Structure formats: C-alpha cells, structure tokens
Chains A and B, each alone.
Chain A
C-alpha cells in the first residue's frame, strides 16, 4: 500500500474514524489500568524510602538485581523455570488440541456437553486446594499411595516429599491436568468456528476423518495455536507460583527441582520486604519474555505475516 497523499490520507482517516472510535474505550482503559501505573517500573532501580516518596528516593542502578544472579542458585532457578515452561507449553498444546478435536467429533450431544463442562473443573480449583489433594495422595502417614496402592503392588512406602526425583513428573502432570482444560475451551471455540462446508466437500471427495483433521482442522486453527504459543513464550520466565510452592508443600528437600524464579524471589524477600528487589525480579522476567516474543514474532512474520502478533 503506497503512502496516500495528504488529502487521500485525510479521506482514509475519515473512512476509518468509526472504527477508531470503537477502539477508544479499550485504549483508554489500558491507559489507566496498565500504562499509568508503569511509573512504578522505576522502583526496580531505586532504594525506596517513603519519607522521600517514590520519585524522590535514591537511584541505585542495578543493585536490586544482584541477588538474582549472584547466588549459587541463580543457574538452578533459571534452568528450572525454562525447562518446566518449555515442557508445559508443548505438552499442554498437544493435550488441549487433541481433546478439543475429540470433543468436536463426539456425536452424543449430552455427553459432549458433559465433557466440556467437566474439563474446566480443575481450572476452577485453586492451587492451594490442589496441594491438599496432592497431600491426600502423597502423605507419608496417611496418603492414598502409601497406604493403599503401593502395598497392593507389593512396593515399599516412599517419602514423597523428601525425594526430588519424582517431582518433575508430578508437577508436569498437575500442571497439565489443571491448565489443559482452559486451553481446550479456546481451541474448541476455534474449531467450531470452521466452516462446515469444508468438511462436507472433503467427505464428498472421500477423505478420511484423519485426513480431514490434518488438512482442514489443524491448518485452520493454526493462527490460534501460534498466537497462544507466542503469548506463552512471553511468559516463559514466569511460573505458576501455587504449583511450585504449594503443591510440594514448600518442602526444603525438593528445592533443587521445585525452586523457580518466582518462588526464589518470594522466599528470599519474605523477611526483607524490599519492594525494589521484587520489582527488579518482575522487570527481569518481563524483559526476557519480551525479547523472546519479539524474536519469535519476527520469525513467524517471515513465514506468514498474517499469523504474527504484531
């Protein structure tokens, strides 16, 4: 599209004015709710003293960021955060899309509705409760596994909350159980939006179900998949705090596999209550996610401009 000349541009703007008008409330809201508070980002670089006020406090450069990098745990928490999130993104995608496709195929309307509702149930339960349920399973004294299942299989009792090696699997399982339902709803809505005519034409041509899924469904929901994945990449340095803190019952013996950036920051700052340091952690996580998204978005743009976020 060539740059229109001045009168043409005016005409263009005039044509699109109603559309811009529509966007106003939303943009205004974001301004108030998100952009105005951003002045607080400077807190990450200050040593806040309220008698001087936030803006009047001293600059300390990057000192608030040090604790994230200097300790021996720094590499560990970064590794944990990244690895878990990578697995989560891929696994949840596969499960959610898979279940959504299946849901779409079910012909029994009543059962389909039942499944649809039930799948979201775990999403509604808070992680704290999930940790109690986990405890019901894994407790040493009274847990279901130790008291019932393991003896039935003829195996020894396991001190679950003391053994790190099981937890990557446990945490992944819990995360998918809880989160896939939500994603599934999104993908299901996408699949429903696909025009039936495509399928009818394909069936007439003699394509099998499997072929139809591969060549119609998947490609047509790819924009949604890409968008969700890009968004997930943006949050790749964040973790579900409840998952990594509550579910392992904050057990020290498991820290090597359950400590992620968010839990590390929380534990480290509980006594200090240093607002600058926690703000620094948030900025660190945001920046990394931001750079990664920019990169991935760029790559997606190269492949298919339409699918990119911006």
Chain B
C-alpha cells in the first residue's frame, strides 16, 4: 500500500485549489451593481437593470426549454421596468427544505411562491415583507384583478403579506365516477344531490359488479373522506372550525359536532358493506392510480370548473362529475397559492413591479404558462392555442403547465380541447361562491404551540382510521375526543376564538 503521504497530500492540495476556484462561481450573477435607490419608479434606463431571483416549485424535471423562456421574460421585463429575471425552479419534494434555507440564510431572493400552509408560519417568523404600501405604489394591477374580499385572505393583523394567484378561488365537493358505470346502470347524475343519495348508487354498482373490490377509493394518499367532503370552514387546520356557512362565527371542535359523528358513521356503514376500499387508511397511492388499476371506480374530491375534463384525462377514460355541495370560499381556498416578497429582497419595489406584470401583462403570463410562441404552441383563434406540427404534450420543450401558479390565470391562453369559456365560467364560479364569514382570517398558533404539537399528534393517530371507516366510531370516536381534550384542544379553540373575535372587530 504505497499510497504514500505524498499522494494524499497532493490530492488534498488539488482539492483545496478546486474548492477555492469553484466557490467563487456559486451565486450566479450576483448583481450588486443593480441596487437602485428608492427612486425606482418610472424609467430607470440610466441604471443597470436589477436582477430578480424568482423561486417557485415545479413538479417533475426542469423543462429543457426553460432558458429561452427565461430570456424572453427577462427581455420583456427589461423593456418595461428595467429588471432582468432569473428563474429558480425547485422540485416540489425539495421545496420546503430549500426555500426555508434560502430564507433563513439571507440568500439573494426577490420573489417567492408561498403555499397556503406555509403562509402564517413565514409571517410570524418575519420572513415576508409587508406589501400594502408597495401594492398601492406599484401593484395597482393586482388590486384591480381581485374581488377585495379575496385579497383579505392573505392578510395578518390587517396587513397584507402575500398575494394569491388568480385562479379558482372557491371549492365545491363531489363525486367523480367512471362514466361507463353510470351509463351501465342508467343512473342520472342529476338525481344525486346529497351524500345519502350515494347509498343507492353504491349499492347498485356493488351488486352488479361482484368482481369489483370496492366502489369508492380515497382521493389520494393520507387523505380521508372528510378531507374530500368539507361542509365546514376548516379555519386553516380543522382544529376548531366554523361548523357551517350560515354566518355564525363560533369556533367549534369539529370532532364533537353531530355532523361529524353522522358522517363517520355513514362511511363506516359503507366500509362494512364493502363499498369503500379496505386499505384506505394506509393508502399511499394517488386516487387516479387506484382507479386506473381497478381498485375502485369513484372518488370524492374537491371540484372546480373544468374538473370533468381533467378527471377524464387522469383516469384515462371518461368521467362524470356530480357536485354535492355549493361552492365555498374560505381563507384556505383563496390563499392556497400565493406570491410573497422575502424579507431579504434587496429591491422590493422592483419585485412588486414585476409581480404586477404577472397580473396584468398577457405576454408575460403566457410566457410563464405556455412557453415560446411557435416553438411550444401556436395561436389558433384568440384565446385558443394548439401544439405546433410534431409537438404534443409529451415532447414539448416547455411543459411546466403551471398556469394556476403564475399571477393571473385568466389572462392565459386556452389549449384546444378545453372549454373556450373556461375563464368566464371561473369568474362566475368565484363570484357566486358562498363566502365564509371568516374569509381573511388566519390563525397564529404560536401562543399555544405546546398544545398544538400534542393535539396534532393525536389527530394523526385517529383521523385516518376513523375517517375512512376502518374502525368502529362508536368505540373510537369517544376515545379520540377524550384524548384531544386531555391534550389541550380546548385551549387552542379558545385562543382561536379570541383571535377570530379580534379580527372581526377590524374587518
């Protein structure tokens, strides 16, 4: 073993050199020269353009054609507001980890996607900038795009910290089922209005199909049937909810309500009758996978305009969608997908100006949504587009397809095959939705974080078994409720009520 010390030493020196060489090339184009003063409005052609680092999650690999899109967006932005744009797409599985690290270490970051669940946490840790004055000065387009009630959803203590993307702002729940079964048994979708009506439907199918393991499958992994059928306003986390949409503002323990007990009893009946997939509590697969593999033919899920077409694509065959609840707008549905400006942004005015473009400028929105005209899509008849010759959904160079994320989706083109009136329908859907009296309220769990951790653990323990019908609710529900109480759920609910009352006073 003559791997001598000389050899080791040499290697060490080599690497140290490589280290110092590599290290300097890291943060891309750190543009210190772009830091303009507060006089950033209007034409700043005399200054060097400021580079914005825009971070967002993606599902799947980074599209091969993204660099041209980035350049096109950047050029447009330079022309209009004198900024260049750097896109930082991050795989969704790594999103929470990486975005958190970028925020906490003070890295250069100018515009950030913020998910509904992360929002209040980021605000309480001081990681997002307050946006109200910025919105007034540079974000008028954003204000105009929204029903003002919706903009309240991203406020904390009356101050705005993020802006939702404009898409479907409400949600209704219902059943999506493979069309050939409703056809086969002559079931008229309009005859099904409530959960009880489903009894007959399931029975018919189960009796007629002895080889089918189950009729109903979960919407996805870790999701229970209550999650797919919310008759209440979860107030962010379902720990203390508004039990209905009749205008009341009393925060109640969901798990103690009679409606909850009824619902889980019904699911249990379905489970025992064989309508529900047996492994639902531990299911780790996506609902459409389950249906495609023949483990069931229907699922409960959250709906929106255009869902039928989407479900049909997912199942690989035609689906019928039956809505069972009205459309509800809550803070969670409105503020599910948002954009914020991180506290470490060096030029928030420019960040806001660019954000404004994402809500008002059709060209920029469509660059984000569809890519480069000619290469990734061709215009058919405004707003319809199609794929160019030889290109389809599987080989298009820019296939992000995240229209619901980037600003104002209503400005986006519509791919042929979709309903050309989709955006009109969506505007109507949003406008006609039942708005929760707590729309705009976000709960800050910090004052009760000790109880919160304990209660979350209890919920994790009982929720899936009870809400998928896998265990007997007569026995388990009282146990569940008792354990919640001993873990301090009442304290959390009291705190939530207190915060809600405070909020209501100012809203």
Contacts and interface: CB of A to CB of B under 8 A. Distances in A.
- Touch A–B, Cβ below 8 Å: yes
Interface string A71-90: 11100000000000000000
Interface in A153-200: 161-162
Given A70-B454, A72-B487, A252-B281, A141 B103 contact: no
Nearest to A53: B106
B221 to A, nearest CB: 10
Interface residues of B, number: 42
B462 interface: yes
Given A162-B471, A272-B445, A249 B284 contact: yes
A162 B470 contact: yes
A242 interface: no
Given A48-B125, A140-B278, A141-B279, A253 B465 contact: yes
B383 interface: no
A269 B454 CA distance: 9
Contacts of B124: 49
A81 to B, nearest CB: 15
Nearest to A265: B453
B193 interface: no
B465 A162 contact: yes
Contacts of B222: 250
Interface string B435-473: 000000000011001111110111011111100001100
A50 B457 contact: no
A67 B125 contact: no
Contacts of B456: 267-268, 270-272
A255 interface: yes
B127 interface: yes
A277 interface: yes
A32 to B, nearest CB: 12
**Interface hub of B278, B470, B471, B483 (most chain A Cβ within 10 A):** B470
Contacts of A140: 278-279
B118 interface: yes
Contacts, number: 111
A63 to B, nearest CB: 8
B454 A73 contact: yes
Given A50-B104, A72-B487, A249-B284, A139 B279 contact: yes
A254 to B, nearest CB: 9
A135 B254 CA distance: 32
B126 A277 contact: no
Given A73-B457, A259-B457, A267-B460, A249 B282 contact: yes
Contacts of B103: 50
Given A50-B104, A67-B454, A73-B457, A274 B470 contact: no
Nearest to A138: B282
B121 interface: yes
B237 interface: yes
Interface in B77-120: 100, 103-104, 117-118
A67 B453 contact: yes
Contacts of A277: 449, 453
Nearest to A255: B461
B125 A252 contact: no
A104 B450 CA distance: 53
A240 interface: no
Contacts of A73: 454, 457-458, 487
Interface in A266-292: 267-275, 277
Interface in A221-264: 249-253, 255, 259, 264
Interface in B469-507: 470-471, 483, 486-487
B141 interface: no
B118 A273 contact: yes
A250 B278 CA distance: 16
B17 interface: no
Interface of B: 12, 100, 103-104, 117-118, 121, 124-127, 213, 222, 237, 278-279, 281-282, 284, 343, 445-446, 449-454, 456-458, 460-465, 470-471, 483, 486-487
7 contacts: A67-B453, A140-B278, A162-B470, A250-B222, A252-B464, A271-B237, A275-B104
**Top 5 closest pairs, chain A to chain B, by CB:** A268-B453, A51-B126, A71-B454, A67-B453, A252-B461
